[in-house]
Amino acid sequence: MASSSSSSSNSAPFCLVKSSINVDETFDVPHIVAPGETLSSTGLTSRPGGKGANVSAAIALAGAPVRFSGAVGSDAPWPLDELACRGVDIDGVETLKDQPTGRAFIQIAADGENSIVLLKGANYATSSSTSDPETVFSSAPRLITHLVVHNEIPLAVTTAFLEYAQRTRSGGQAPRITSIFNPSPMPTPDELRSFPWSAIDVLIVNEGEGSELLNALDARGADAVPSDLVQGSDERSRRVVDALADLEALKHTAWIVLTRGSRGVMARIQVAPAASPAQRTFFSLPSPKPRQVRDTTGAGDTFAGNLVAALMGVNLSESAARNADGDDVESATQQASAAAKSDDHVNRVLTWACMAASVACETVGAMRSIPKAEDVKARLA
């Protein structure tokens, strides 16, 4: 019995986030500073952040098991405590003495809009043992089923982790690893063209990122999305996501998700594993309206983390919610596959992620704004 329980737990969905962790230095300003302008800040707050840390926290708070892999400096290791108290496994983090913890300098305007400047710090320390995928994967407490990466660490490290995951699943090892990529901040056009897109199962971009990606990978990108279309309009967003779905480079990517802020989300998704790229189903969901918009920082990371948790099988049904504890493993693994099982399944995944992002806008701060699963469930009830 003990052996069976151990095997069941070891086979349950488990996510690795290989990405960044920062200290967010947030300045309250009347409006986002313009070039050449000097503004007085009415407040300064230091909070934990970084896309990888935020997404890890969102996955954990949604009820899914997740390990964060990255590095901090000995000058400011305290963001790790914030991850741990939210249920994130931080045993995969290295503390470096010769690099500062990464920083994000954030302006928050009175209307809730934000702008961000990054200091790379320990996130870009390639000498860290956490930059080696074989070391990180082999030291995980369970077999990794989901890998999340961004672009706030060296692109070569991101690529190495994706290619390692791709080789693992290509070798027939179980469970299959689903790779999720949010290319933010965007790589250069040359980097985008040489990127191993075949290793990506789920792509999450906003409209601006989607347009940059399209223009870098397809010389006809400008024709697919005419410049006279209004930024953020339904027609323009639909053109962008449709054109991305037609790209040869993304033919292996089952989920292409375009986030639209307060306008919701559009996506092209393979609803069955045998579907071809031309058979991707189109989805469009509005964003639930927050009760009060206080800070949009972290809403995108909240969406991404909750999308990953839903893909792992939690929060979509009572039986799926038990999967984080290792029960009903076969069902969990099926739900965690890159291709969706039905239109209804996709709608539930996207609805959950959109509601979580909406709730996050009601609280100041990035990581601190991420809601717990019960808070999202209460809004959806």
Computed over every residue of the chain, the mean pLDDT equals: 87
Report the range of poorest mean pLDDT among 103-117, 205-219, 341-355. 103-117
Stronger pLDDT, 282 or 340, i.e. the higher one: 282
188 is in an annotated binding site: no
pLDDT-derived band at 349, boundaries 50, 70, 90: very high
360 is in an annotated binding site: yes
CA angle 203, 175, 10 (to 5 degrees): 120
pLDDT-derived band at 127, boundaries 50, 70, 90: confident
pLDDT given for residue 274 in this prediction: 59
Stronger pLDDT, 378 or 327, i.e. the higher one: 378
At 306-321, the pLDDT tens digits run: 999 999 988 765 433 3
Q: How far apart are CA 197 and CA 2, in angstroms?
A: 41
Q: What is the mean pLDDT of residues 162-184?
A: 84
Q: What is the mean pLDDT of residues 16-20?
A: 97
At 265-289, the pLDDT tens digits run: 999 999 876 556 557 899 999 999 9
Residue 333 has pLDDT above 50, yes or no: no
| Residue 88: closest CA among 297, 367, 357 | 367
Q: How far apart are CA 30 and CA 19, in angstroms?
A: 32
CA angle 269, 274, 202 (to 5 degrees): 35
| Residue 26: closest CA among 356, 291, 289, 368 | 368
263 is in an annotated binding site: yes
pLDDT given for residue 378 in this prediction: 94
336 is in an annotated binding site: no
Q: Which domains does the chain have, with CATH numbers?
A: 2-19+57-100+123-380 (3.40.1190.20)
pLDDT given for residue 332 in this prediction: 40
pLDDT given for residue 319 in this prediction: 34
Residue 157 has pLDDT above 90, yes or no: yes
Q: Is 301 a catalytic residue?
A: yes
Q: How far apart are CA 15 and CA 62, in angstroms?
A: 13
DSSP state of 381: -
- Top mean pLDDT of 55-64, 263-272, 337-346 is at 55-64
What residues pair up with 146 in beta bridges, in sequence order? 15, 178
Q: Which of 28, 223, 234, 301 is catalytic?
A: 301
264 is in an annotated binding site: yes
β 255-259/265-269 pair status? antiparallel
57 is in an annotated binding site: no
pLDDT-derived band at 154, boundaries 50, 70, 90: very high
Q: At what angle do helices 343-360 and 373-380 cross, to 10 degrees?
A: 110
Q: Which residues contact 321 (CB under 8 A, 6 or more apart)?
A: 63, 314, 315
pLDDT given for residue 298 in this prediction: 87
pLDDT above 70 covers a percentage of the chain that reads 87
pLDDT given for residue 279 in this prediction: 79
pLDDT given for residue 73 in this prediction: 96
CA angle 269, 274, 275 (to 5 degrees): 40
Q: At what angle do helices 51-61 and 299-311 cross, to 10 degrees?
A: 50
Report the range of poorest mean pLDDT among 36-45, 212-221, 254-263, 325-334. 325-334
Q: What is the mean pLDDT of residues 155-172?
A: 88
